[in-house]
Amino acid sequence: MKRIRTEVLRIQGEAVVEVWVDDALRVTDVRFVPGGFRGFESFCRGRVPEEMPFVSARICGVCAEAHYVASAKAVEELYGVSPSLQVERLRAVFHLLGFIRDHLTTLYLFSGPDLFPEFGNDSLEWLEKSGFKREFFESRRRIRRMLEVVSGRGFLGGAFVPGGWTKVLTPEALRELRRLSEEELAFCRRTLEFFGAKRAEETQFRGKFLCLKPGDVSEFFGDKVACFDERGRKVAEFKAERYAGYIKEKDSGEFVFSDGSVYAVGPFARTFFWEGTTSLGESNPSFVRAREVVVAAERLRVLLEELEGEQRRQLAPKRPVKREAVGVVEAPRGLLIHHYFVDENGLLSRVKIVTPTAQNAKAIEVTLRNRLKLGQKIDEKVLKDLERVVRSYDPCIPCMVHVIGVEGKRLISVKKV
Amino acid sequence: MEVLEGTSVKTLAVVEGSSCGGCNPVLYLEALEGLLEGYRVLLWKAAGLRDADASEELDLLLILGSFNSEGRERLKELAERSKEVVVVGTCATSGGIRGLSVFLGRRVFPATELVRNSLFEEVPGCPPEPELVRYAIEGTLSEKGVSREPVCSECKRERRAFRIYSIKKYYEAEPSERACFLSLGVVCLGPVTVKGCGASCPKAGQPCRGCYGPLPGLYSAPLRMISSVLSATLPSRLEEVTKELKDPFGTFWRFSAATEPVLRRKTS
């Protein structure tokens, strides 16, 4: 038995696909192995809860806005305050901007070379040859500017206070945001035109799909989770705070649905709500992402129209009023859950963060296994194909490997996802 | 990548340790436009480039993230064969937020400790402002004064003489308030944190949380900060204020625990 490792390039963070082969190079097993543990759940214990949005945004610099907003929801629940509609809209704008930037990065820099290999194999060459470089860079600059206006910083910003948002928008700032959002929407539509032209190129995972039921403020906010089967039939709906009764984390660190079946989160899962789709049909992940970018940019425009400069703020008490709280959001890669427990001193005693990629790990592995046939001969082409399969899930390794038990044993078991 | 004709081709590698990925230049390629085109990239996994057997000399190495035992040798080897090294982000310059693991007995190595012998430029920040990375690659960072002055030198909030009567939570300060956070009784790490962000958090109504890392030249920036806060406290309120400082580790050592001299255990 030999092990062949291939690094997955063009993803966030580092991961390898391990293929186990016999002496004749025939496949016996395949695994997806992330790298680089950091241990947020353990070192966040003992911290004050109100700092969590800032701290947890550092779990992942790529989907930082999603972590920030999910954490903000959990913290507000702990302190017994709720944001005004204006504040909620501002946060949705903040989240959507991060969402669009993230999906565009995935589409243009990571998936682009898979879908249109004629433009080159690496992100830099691809951007140059595809002719999108100027527009993509302009979009990036626009999003960065908008985030700066909304949150004070173009990257990993945030103006959260329990029950409010400290960045106040002037009428000029609002006008600028509206103008930029129009321009961004045009680019997003062009993105859909381009990526939408490519049809199915991946065998997708078939199983259960979980996502948030869209709320009033944004498609990506909500407080109920729905579970669909592959035909689009809703098999369960539950309040997000009750997630632990429906999602099980096995000792190995894998997440499965309560009945033991494998599930996936992310763009495909959200498809069921938006399109009323009953089948995944011919859709490919990049097409779904490109469509989501347009949905997000359209919602952004609507929210900015509804926003007014003034915001009211509810002052939070000095200490948490609850001992436990859950915050959820649809991150670019899927359902993200922050679950906090506080002790009698008002400090965090336990932090549980269920990230989309950690939930998808099992589905990635299943898809990899489906792709390979037992006994198949392995060569460079097959390995490249496996890399592509992993990439189609847009895995975020920093998110996935935030988990680390104080006990080293868990570290090893989680690694063997 | 296409290289303009007539320019000499330099080589570049980007290596990432443990980080959130927020300082990876794939996220701010646009800020490096016109600069990266002059390089042939040998290694940059996030951009899909890997020339694993490359043993050729590097002109520039960008290092992101902090390191544990894994990958340290590889990093040293890359740094040794690179003419210039730029260390990007607070995880790489001072261990970053992951340094809080030190309190759980885990060591975290900022890249700066591992490549000590190589000539390098440091760009702090969690994440760094993309322009600073550009300046570092161009070799003009030191002219901008980053790494020498505190965030307060960029902060526009009104400074005034103050005494501390009680510690306030950051959310208790009025958003319309324009005075220095410390004068309001809110812990702000601006005085002991490296500048470079343009005091973006205080501008947005949030105190500085120290994401650019500790100001060099202070033996222990967090201890200095605690000492300053307590010195400004009215003596009769000292006991109360000390109690109000909940979670001092997470507050004062948020981004600097990995390099804290008081906490450091001797390791090889």
The ipTM is 0.94
Mean pLDDT of B131-135: 95
Amino acid at A68: Y
Query: Do B98 and A13 lie within an 8 Å CB cutoff?
Result: no
Q: Kindly state the percentage of chain A with pLDDT values over 90.
A: 58
Mean pLDDT of chain A: 87
Mean pLDDT of B141-146: 75
Determine the residue among A75, A114, A123 to mutate to test chain B binding: the one whose Cβ has the most chain B Cβ atoms within 10 Å: A123
The whole-number pLDDT of residue A280 equals: 53
Mean pLDDT of A388-416: 57
Query: Do A166 and B2 lie within an 8 Å CB cutoff?
Result: no
Residue B130's pLDDT band (cuts 50, 70, 90): very high
Distance between CA A216 and CA A220 in Å, rounded?
A: 10
Cis peptide leading into A267, omega within 30 of 0? no
Q: Distance, in angstroms, between B252 CA and closest chain A CA?
A: 12
Nearest CA in chain B to A318: B169
Mean pLDDT of A116-145: 95
Distance between CA B118 and CA B63 in Å, rounded?
A: 12
Q: Which residues contact B122 (CB under 8 A, 6 or more apart)?
A: B86, B87, B92, B93, B112, B136, B147
Q: How far is CA B218 from the centre of its chain?
A: 16
- A115 in helix, strand or coil? helix
Q: How far is CA A367 from the centre of its chain?
A: 19
Nearest CA in chain B to A312: B175
The whole-number pLDDT of residue A412 equals: 30
The whole-number pLDDT of residue A283 equals: 63
Q: What is the pLDDT of residues B107-126, one digit of tens each?
A: 888 998 888 766 789 999 99
- Residue B124 in contact with residue B93, Cβ under 8 Å? yes
- Residue A51 in contact with residue A43, Cβ under 8 Å? no
- B261 in helix, strand or coil? coil
Residues of B in contact with A406 (CB under 8 A): 104
DSSP per-residue letters across B60-128: EEEEESEE-STTHHHHHHHHHTEEEEEEESHHHHH--GGGGGGGGT---EEHHHHTTTS-EEEE--SSP
The whole-number pLDDT of residue A147 equals: 97
Query: Do B1 and A125 lie within an 8 Å CB cutoff?
Result: yes
Helix (H) or strand (E) holding A92: helix A85-105
- Residue B122 in contact with residue B87, Cβ under 8 Å? yes
A9, A64, A406 member nearest B48 (Cβ): A9
Helix (H) or strand (E) holding A400: helix A397-400
Under 8 Å CB pairs connecting chains A and B tally to 183
Determine the residue among A10, A37, A38 to mutate to test chain B binding: the one whose Cβ has the most chain B Cβ atoms within 10 Å: A38
Distance between CA B121 and CA B132 in Å, rounded?
A: 11
The CA-CA-CA angle for residues B23, A157, A302, to 5°, reads: 120
Amino acid at A78: L
Query: Do A11 and B36 lie within an 8 Å CB cutoff?
Result: no
Query: Do A125 and B106 lie within an 8 Å CB cutoff?
Result: no
